[in-house]
Amino acid sequence: MMKSFRLDRAAALEWVRAFEALYGETARQIGELQQEYPQAPLLDLSRFLQPPEKYYWDLGHVYDEANMLIAERIYRELKPAVERKLP
């Protein structure tokens, strides 16, 4: 955050805290949806790429390699549900 957006440390840490709050709220809402719709396949990827500095170049955008990890995770998680629906 400091390098990409030319922020000082204090400002960068405020952005990191803001993103953490958003990811936490996302996880909470996904958990509620999973309880409300247990038959629907829902994936909570809000904390999947940890530690964030390894996968995100600014905590909002991931490196290309992380996109592959996300795609592979989605495939692994959804494949059984799709196969159950096939004749």
Q: What are the boundaries of each domain within the chain? A: 2-85
Structure-derived torsion over alpha carbons of residues 63, 30, 43, 65, reported in degrees to the nearest 10: 0
Residue with tokens 């995100």: 56
How far CA 7 is from CA of 27, 46, 51, 56, 61, in Å, comes to 28, 25, 21, 17, 17
Measure the CA–CA gap between 26 and 19, rounded to whole angstroms. 10
Stated pTM of the model: 0.65
Q: Assign 71 to helix, strand or coil.
A: helix
The residues, any chain, with a CB within 8 Å of residue 3's CB and separated by 6 or more, are: none
Q: What is the pLDDT along the chain (87 residues), one digit of tens a residue?
A: 667 777 888 887 888 788 889 889 999 999 999 999 998 888 898 888 888 778 887 767 888 999 999 999 999 988 988 898 888
